[in-house]
Amino acid sequence: MTMLFDHPEHDGHESVLFARDTASSLRAIIAVHSTAAGPACGGVRFWHYVTEADALTDVLRLSKGMSYKNVMAGLPLGGGKAVILADAQRTKSRELLRAFGRAVDRLGGAYIAAEDVGITVDDVAAMREATRHVAGKAKGVHASGDPSPFTARGVFLGLHAAVRFQLGTDSLKGLRVGVLGLGAVGMKLAGMLHETGAKLVVADIDRQRVREAERAFGAEIAAPDLLPVQPLDVLSPCALGGVLSPEAIEKLRATVVAGAANNQLVDAAYGRLLHEKGVLYAPDYVINAGGIINVAGEVLGDYDEDKAIAAVERIPETLWSIFETARATDRPTSAVADQIAAERLAALAAAPGVRHAA
Protein backbone atom coordinates (compact mmCIF):
# COMPACT_ATOMS: atom_id res chain seq x y z
CA MET A 1 0.00 0.00 0.00
CA THR A 2 1.21 3.51 -0.80
CA MET A 3 2.36 5.35 2.31
CA LEU A 4 1.19 8.87 3.03
CA PHE A 5 4.25 11.03 2.47
CA ASP A 6 5.09 9.47 -0.90
CA HIS A 7 1.44 9.18 -1.94
CA PRO A 8 1.15 10.56 -5.49
CA GLU A 9 -1.52 13.03 -4.32
CA HIS A 10 0.21 14.14 -1.11
CA ASP A 11 1.55 17.34 -2.66
CA GLY A 12 2.90 18.89 0.54
CA HIS A 13 -0.28 18.57 2.63
CA GLU A 14 0.17 20.32 5.98
CA SER A 15 -1.69 17.67 7.95
CA VAL A 16 -3.89 14.63 7.55
CA LEU A 17 -5.98 13.38 10.46
CA PHE A 18 -7.36 9.85 10.55
CA ALA A 19 -10.32 9.93 12.92
CA ARG A 20 -12.03 6.92 14.46
CA ASP A 21 -14.84 6.62 16.98
CA THR A 22 -15.75 3.06 17.82
CA ALA A 23 -19.06 3.81 19.56
CA SER A 24 -20.55 5.56 16.50
CA SER A 25 -18.54 3.57 13.89
CA LEU A 26 -17.00 6.78 12.57
CA ARG A 27 -14.08 6.40 10.20
CA ALA A 28 -13.01 9.68 8.65
CA ILE A 29 -10.01 11.39 7.11
CA ILE A 30 -9.53 15.16 7.35
CA ALA A 31 -6.91 16.59 4.99
CA VAL A 32 -5.52 20.10 5.31
CA HIS A 33 -3.59 20.97 2.18
CA SER A 34 -2.71 24.58 2.90
CA THR A 35 -3.49 27.29 5.43
CA ALA A 36 -1.28 29.82 3.62
CA ALA A 37 -4.30 31.97 2.69
CA GLY A 38 -6.25 31.37 5.91
CA PRO A 39 -8.04 28.55 7.74
CA ALA A 40 -8.64 25.57 5.46
CA CYS A 41 -12.29 25.38 4.48
CA GLY A 42 -13.94 22.65 2.46
CA GLY A 43 -16.84 20.25 2.50
CA VAL A 44 -17.25 16.87 4.11
CA ARG A 45 -18.03 13.98 1.77
CA PHE A 46 -20.05 11.05 3.12
CA TRP A 47 -19.39 8.20 0.73
CA HIS A 48 -19.12 4.42 0.60
CA TYR A 49 -15.59 4.04 -0.79
CA VAL A 50 -14.62 0.63 -2.10
CA THR A 51 -11.26 0.75 -0.28
CA GLU A 52 -9.64 2.97 2.33
CA ALA A 53 -6.93 3.75 -0.24
CA ASP A 54 -9.63 5.19 -2.55
CA ALA A 55 -10.88 7.40 0.29
CA LEU A 56 -7.36 8.69 1.01
CA THR A 57 -6.68 9.47 -2.65
CA ASP A 58 -10.04 11.24 -2.94
CA VAL A 59 -9.61 13.40 0.15
CA LEU A 60 -6.06 14.43 -0.82
CA ARG A 61 -7.13 15.45 -4.33
CA LEU A 62 -10.24 17.24 -3.07
CA SER A 63 -8.27 19.07 -0.39
CA LYS A 64 -5.66 20.38 -2.82
CA GLY A 65 -8.54 21.33 -5.12
CA MET A 66 -9.97 23.47 -2.33
CA SER A 67 -6.66 25.34 -1.96
CA TYR A 68 -6.76 26.07 -5.68
CA LYS A 69 -10.47 26.94 -5.64
CA ASN A 70 -10.20 29.34 -2.73
CA VAL A 71 -7.11 31.12 -4.02
CA MET A 72 -8.59 31.44 -7.53
CA ALA A 73 -11.76 32.96 -6.06
CA GLY A 74 -9.61 35.42 -4.09
CA LEU A 75 -10.90 34.13 -0.75
CA PRO A 76 -8.82 34.43 2.43
CA LEU A 77 -9.27 30.70 3.05
CA GLY A 78 -6.95 27.74 2.77
CA GLY A 79 -7.74 24.33 1.33
CA GLY A 80 -9.00 21.30 3.21
CA LYS A 81 -11.55 18.56 2.84
CA ALA A 82 -12.85 15.59 4.79
CA VAL A 83 -14.33 12.24 3.92
CA ILE A 84 -16.46 10.08 6.17
CA LEU A 85 -16.16 6.48 5.05
CA ALA A 86 -19.76 5.34 5.09
CA ASP A 87 -20.48 1.78 6.00
CA ALA A 88 -23.39 0.53 3.88
CA GLN A 89 -24.62 -1.50 6.88
CA ARG A 90 -25.01 1.54 9.12
CA THR A 91 -26.67 4.85 8.39
CA LYS A 92 -25.57 8.35 9.25
CA SER A 93 -26.38 9.11 12.88
CA ARG A 94 -26.25 12.19 15.05
CA GLU A 95 -23.68 10.40 17.24
CA LEU A 96 -21.44 9.80 14.23
CA LEU A 97 -21.70 13.43 13.09
CA ARG A 98 -20.96 14.66 16.62
CA ALA A 99 -17.94 12.35 16.78
CA PHE A 100 -16.81 13.82 13.47
CA GLY A 101 -17.33 17.30 14.94
CA ARG A 102 -15.03 16.36 17.84
CA ALA A 103 -12.36 15.32 15.34
CA VAL A 104 -12.69 18.67 13.54
CA ASP A 105 -12.40 20.40 16.91
CA ARG A 106 -9.09 18.67 17.63
CA LEU A 107 -7.60 20.62 14.70
CA GLY A 108 -8.30 23.84 16.61
CA GLY A 109 -9.74 25.80 13.67
CA ALA A 110 -7.13 24.83 11.05
CA TYR A 111 -10.03 23.12 9.22
CA ILE A 112 -13.59 24.37 8.88
CA ALA A 113 -16.14 21.80 7.74
CA ALA A 114 -19.07 22.43 5.39
CA GLU A 115 -21.44 20.49 3.10
CA ASP A 116 -20.37 18.24 0.24
CA VAL A 117 -21.83 15.09 -1.30
CA GLY A 118 -23.96 13.25 1.25
CA ILE A 119 -23.89 16.02 3.89
CA THR A 120 -26.87 18.34 4.49
CA VAL A 121 -27.36 21.53 6.51
CA ASP A 122 -28.94 19.37 9.24
CA ASP A 123 -25.80 17.24 9.35
CA VAL A 124 -23.70 20.38 9.74
CA ALA A 125 -25.96 21.39 12.65
CA ALA A 126 -25.22 18.03 14.32
CA MET A 127 -21.44 18.56 13.87
CA ARG A 128 -21.90 22.05 15.33
CA GLU A 129 -22.94 20.45 18.64
CA ALA A 130 -19.32 19.33 19.03
CA THR A 131 -17.33 22.11 17.35
CA ARG A 132 -17.72 25.72 16.33
CA HIS A 133 -15.46 25.11 13.32
CA VAL A 134 -18.26 24.46 10.82
CA ALA A 135 -19.92 26.61 8.18
CA GLY A 136 -22.94 26.33 5.91
CA LYS A 137 -25.24 26.52 8.92
CA ALA A 138 -28.96 27.05 8.38
CA LYS A 139 -29.49 29.26 11.42
CA GLY A 140 -27.57 31.67 13.60
CA VAL A 141 -25.52 34.84 13.20
CA HIS A 142 -23.97 35.08 9.70
CA ALA A 143 -25.39 31.64 8.77
CA SER A 144 -25.05 31.15 5.01
CA GLY A 145 -27.23 28.04 4.65
CA ASP A 146 -27.12 25.52 1.82
CA PRO A 147 -24.29 26.43 -0.59
CA SER A 148 -25.68 24.44 -3.54
CA PRO A 149 -27.91 27.18 -5.06
CA PHE A 150 -24.83 29.44 -5.26
CA THR A 151 -22.75 26.66 -6.80
CA ALA A 152 -25.49 25.98 -9.33
CA ARG A 153 -25.75 29.69 -10.21
CA GLY A 154 -21.96 29.95 -10.75
CA VAL A 155 -21.91 26.82 -12.88
CA PHE A 156 -24.82 28.07 -14.97
CA LEU A 157 -23.11 31.42 -15.61
CA GLY A 158 -19.76 29.74 -16.26
CA LEU A 159 -21.31 27.24 -18.67
CA HIS A 160 -22.96 30.11 -20.52
CA ALA A 161 -19.61 31.92 -20.80
CA ALA A 162 -17.91 28.75 -22.05
CA VAL A 163 -20.59 28.35 -24.74
CA ARG A 164 -20.14 31.99 -25.77
CA PHE A 165 -16.36 31.54 -26.01
CA GLN A 166 -16.39 28.19 -27.80
CA LEU A 167 -19.50 28.32 -29.96
CA GLY A 168 -19.76 32.07 -30.46
CA THR A 169 -23.42 32.16 -29.47
CA ASP A 170 -25.02 34.00 -26.59
CA SER A 171 -28.05 31.74 -26.48
CA LEU A 172 -28.38 28.31 -24.92
CA LYS A 173 -31.68 27.79 -26.71
CA GLY A 174 -31.79 24.45 -28.48
CA LEU A 175 -28.32 23.37 -27.31
CA ARG A 176 -28.10 19.80 -26.06
CA VAL A 177 -26.67 19.82 -22.54
CA GLY A 178 -25.93 16.59 -20.70
CA VAL A 179 -26.22 16.87 -16.92
CA LEU A 180 -24.57 13.92 -15.18
CA GLY A 181 -25.77 13.83 -11.55
CA LEU A 182 -29.05 15.39 -10.42
CA GLY A 183 -28.26 16.12 -6.80
CA ALA A 184 -28.38 19.39 -4.91
CA VAL A 185 -26.42 21.23 -7.63
CA GLY A 186 -27.26 19.22 -10.76
CA MET A 187 -31.03 19.43 -10.34
CA LYS A 188 -30.96 23.21 -9.79
CA LEU A 189 -28.65 23.66 -12.76
CA ALA A 190 -30.96 21.52 -14.91
CA GLY A 191 -33.85 23.81 -13.94
CA MET A 192 -31.95 26.94 -14.98
CA LEU A 193 -30.85 25.37 -18.26
CA HIS A 194 -34.41 24.27 -19.00
CA GLU A 195 -35.67 27.81 -18.40
CA THR A 196 -33.25 29.17 -21.00
CA GLY A 197 -34.46 26.68 -23.60
CA ALA A 198 -31.59 24.19 -23.53
CA LYS A 199 -32.47 20.58 -24.36
CA LEU A 200 -31.51 18.37 -21.45
CA VAL A 201 -30.13 14.86 -21.45
CA VAL A 202 -29.74 13.62 -17.88
CA ALA A 203 -28.37 10.69 -15.93
CA ASP A 204 -28.17 9.70 -12.29
CA ILE A 205 -27.83 6.41 -10.43
CA ASP A 206 -30.90 7.49 -8.47
CA ARG A 207 -33.85 6.65 -10.74
CA GLN A 208 -36.26 8.84 -8.82
CA ARG A 209 -34.19 11.96 -9.58
CA VAL A 210 -34.03 11.03 -13.23
CA ARG A 211 -37.81 10.65 -13.37
CA GLU A 212 -38.21 14.02 -11.63
CA ALA A 213 -36.06 15.73 -14.30
CA GLU A 214 -37.97 13.95 -17.04
CA ARG A 215 -41.28 15.15 -15.60
CA ALA A 216 -40.22 18.70 -14.70
CA PHE A 217 -37.95 19.55 -17.65
CA GLY A 218 -38.92 17.07 -20.36
CA ALA A 219 -35.36 15.75 -20.16
CA GLU A 220 -34.13 12.82 -22.21
CA ILE A 221 -32.67 10.04 -20.07
CA ALA A 222 -29.34 8.29 -20.57
CA ALA A 223 -27.46 5.65 -18.59
CA PRO A 224 -24.79 7.31 -16.39
CA ASP A 225 -21.85 5.64 -18.18
CA LEU A 226 -23.28 6.46 -21.61
CA LEU A 227 -24.17 10.12 -21.04
CA PRO A 228 -20.67 11.43 -21.93
CA VAL A 229 -20.84 9.71 -25.34
CA GLN A 230 -24.27 11.08 -26.31
CA PRO A 231 -24.51 13.65 -29.11
CA LEU A 232 -24.22 16.76 -26.92
CA ASP A 233 -23.06 20.34 -27.28
CA VAL A 234 -22.13 20.60 -23.60
CA LEU A 235 -21.32 17.97 -20.99
CA SER A 236 -21.93 19.09 -17.42
CA PRO A 237 -20.51 16.62 -14.89
CA CYS A 238 -22.35 17.21 -11.60
CA ALA A 239 -21.94 13.87 -9.81
CA LEU A 240 -18.59 12.67 -8.47
CA GLY A 241 -15.17 13.21 -10.02
CA GLY A 242 -13.18 11.03 -12.39
CA VAL A 243 -15.45 11.39 -15.43
CA LEU A 244 -12.75 12.53 -17.85
CA SER A 245 -10.54 9.51 -18.51
CA PRO A 246 -8.60 9.12 -21.78
CA GLU A 247 -11.24 6.63 -22.99
CA ALA A 248 -14.12 8.98 -22.14
CA ILE A 249 -12.35 11.96 -23.73
CA GLU A 250 -11.76 9.98 -26.91
CA LYS A 251 -15.49 9.20 -27.21
CA LEU A 252 -16.71 12.63 -26.09
CA ARG A 253 -18.93 14.41 -28.63
CA ALA A 254 -19.55 17.63 -26.72
CA THR A 255 -17.15 20.51 -27.42
CA VAL A 256 -17.69 22.18 -24.04
CA VAL A 257 -17.27 20.56 -20.60
CA ALA A 258 -18.59 22.73 -17.80
CA GLY A 259 -19.95 21.24 -14.59
CA ALA A 260 -19.96 21.28 -10.80
CA ALA A 261 -18.16 18.05 -9.95
CA ASN A 262 -14.76 18.32 -8.29
CA ASN A 263 -11.81 16.49 -9.87
CA GLN A 264 -13.47 15.86 -13.21
CA LEU A 265 -10.13 14.96 -14.81
CA VAL A 266 -8.97 11.50 -13.71
CA ASP A 267 -5.46 12.96 -13.90
CA ALA A 268 -4.51 16.63 -14.31
CA ALA A 269 -2.45 15.66 -17.37
CA TYR A 270 -5.60 14.66 -19.28
CA GLY A 271 -6.49 18.32 -19.70
CA ARG A 272 -4.10 18.15 -22.67
CA LEU A 273 -6.23 15.46 -24.34
CA LEU A 274 -9.27 17.73 -24.16
CA HIS A 275 -7.23 20.63 -25.52
CA GLU A 276 -5.88 18.58 -28.43
CA LYS A 277 -9.39 17.42 -29.26
CA GLY A 278 -10.59 21.03 -29.36
CA VAL A 279 -12.87 20.67 -26.34
CA LEU A 280 -13.17 23.73 -24.10
CA TYR A 281 -12.92 22.63 -20.47
CA ALA A 282 -14.03 25.01 -17.71
CA PRO A 283 -11.63 24.11 -14.86
CA ASP A 284 -13.82 22.54 -12.17
CA TYR A 285 -12.48 24.43 -9.18
CA VAL A 286 -13.04 27.76 -10.93
CA ILE A 287 -16.57 27.19 -12.22
CA ASN A 288 -17.85 25.50 -9.04
CA ALA A 289 -16.61 28.11 -6.54
CA GLY A 290 -20.08 29.61 -5.92
CA GLY A 291 -20.76 27.51 -2.84
CA ILE A 292 -17.50 28.30 -1.07
CA ILE A 293 -17.82 31.98 -2.02
CA ASN A 294 -21.14 31.97 -0.14
CA VAL A 295 -19.77 29.96 2.81
CA ALA A 296 -16.77 32.31 3.11
CA GLY A 297 -18.95 35.16 4.39
CA GLU A 298 -20.07 32.96 7.27
CA VAL A 299 -16.51 31.87 8.10
CA LEU A 300 -15.27 35.45 8.01
CA GLY A 301 -18.22 36.64 10.11
CA ASP A 302 -19.57 39.18 7.62
CA TYR A 303 -22.13 37.19 5.64
CA ASP A 304 -24.02 39.28 3.11
CA GLU A 305 -26.04 37.44 0.46
CA ASP A 306 -25.87 40.28 -2.08
CA LYS A 307 -22.09 40.42 -1.77
CA ALA A 308 -21.90 36.65 -2.25
CA ILE A 309 -24.11 36.80 -5.36
CA ALA A 310 -21.99 39.62 -6.82
CA ALA A 311 -18.85 37.52 -6.29
CA VAL A 312 -20.47 34.45 -7.86
CA GLU A 313 -21.35 36.58 -10.88
CA ARG A 314 -17.63 37.28 -11.40
CA ILE A 315 -16.89 33.56 -12.02
CA PRO A 316 -17.42 33.94 -15.81
CA GLU A 317 -14.83 36.75 -15.92
CA THR A 318 -12.21 34.54 -14.26
CA LEU A 319 -13.04 31.71 -16.63
CA TRP A 320 -12.94 34.00 -19.66
CA SER A 321 -9.43 35.19 -18.86
CA ILE A 322 -8.29 31.55 -18.43
CA PHE A 323 -9.87 30.66 -21.79
CA GLU A 324 -8.13 33.59 -23.50
CA THR A 325 -4.72 32.77 -22.02
CA ALA A 326 -5.15 29.12 -22.98
CA ARG A 327 -6.01 30.09 -26.56
CA ALA A 328 -3.19 32.64 -26.83
CA THR A 329 -0.57 30.23 -25.45
CA ASP A 330 -1.98 27.05 -27.00
CA ARG A 331 -2.21 25.36 -23.60
CA PRO A 332 -4.97 23.41 -21.84
CA THR A 333 -7.29 25.56 -19.72
CA SER A 334 -6.63 23.24 -16.78
CA ALA A 335 -2.87 23.85 -17.03
CA VAL A 336 -3.39 27.64 -17.20
CA ALA A 337 -5.61 27.60 -14.09
CA ASP A 338 -3.28 25.24 -12.18
CA GLN A 339 -0.31 27.50 -12.89
CA ILE A 340 -2.09 30.64 -11.67
CA ALA A 341 -3.36 28.89 -8.52
CA ALA A 342 0.01 27.30 -7.70
CA GLU A 343 1.82 30.64 -8.16
CA ARG A 344 -0.65 32.47 -5.93
CA LEU A 345 -0.32 29.81 -3.23
CA ALA A 346 3.47 29.87 -3.40
CA ALA A 347 3.44 33.66 -3.04
CA LEU A 348 1.16 33.41 0.02
CA ALA A 349 3.30 30.69 1.58
CA ALA A 350 6.41 32.82 1.07
CA ALA A 351 4.79 35.76 2.86
CA PRO A 352 3.09 34.17 5.88
CA GLY A 353 2.73 37.57 7.57
CA VAL A 354 -0.13 38.45 5.22
CA ARG A 355 -2.35 35.53 6.36
CA HIS A 356 -5.92 36.39 7.08
CA ALA A 357 -7.45 35.35 10.37
CA ALA A 358 -10.78 33.53 10.59
| 3-state secondary structure at position 313 | coil
CB-CB contact of 265 with 287 (8 Å): no
State the Cα–Cα distance between residues 24 and 28, nearest whole angstrom: 12
Encoded one letter per residue, x for contact with ligand NAI by CB under 6 A and - for no contact, window 145-174 reads --xx--x-----------------------
**For the stretch 80-94, what's the b/e string if a residue is b when 16 or more beta carbons lie within 10 angstroms of its beta carbon?**
bbbbbbbeeeeebee
Nearest distance from residue 211's CB to ligand NAI, in Å?
Answer: 12
Mind spelling out the 3-state secondary structure of 245-262? Answer: CHHHHHHCCCCEECCCCC
Distance CA 204, CA 189 (A): 14
Minimum distance from CB of 317 to ligand NAI (Å)? 19
Q: Does 236 bind ligand NAI (CB under 6 A)?
A: no
The nearer residue to ligand NAI, 185 or 234, going by C-beta atoms, is 185
Q: Indicate if 81 belongs to the active site.
A: yes
Site for ligand NAI in 11-30 (CB under 6 A): none
Q: How far apart are CA 118 and CA 186, in angstroms?
A: 14
Closest residue to bound ligand NAI by CB: 183
| Residue 183 binds ligand NAI, judged by CB under 6 A | yes
In this structure, what are the phi and psi dihedrals at residue 281, rounded to the nearest 5 degrees? -105, 125
d(CA 4, CA 238): 29
Q: Least separation, in Å, of the C-beta of 152 and ligand NAI?
A: 8
Task: Tell me the per-residue interface mask from 269 to 298 with ligand NAI, x by CB under 6 A, - otherwise.
Answer: -------------------x--x-------
Q: Smallest distance from the beta carbon of 222 to ligand NAI, in angstroms?
A: 10
Catalytic residues, by residue number, are 81
Q: Which residues would be at the binding site for ligand NAI (CB under 6 A)?
A: 115-118, 147-148, 151, 180-186, 203-206, 209, 224, 238-240, 260-262, 288, 291
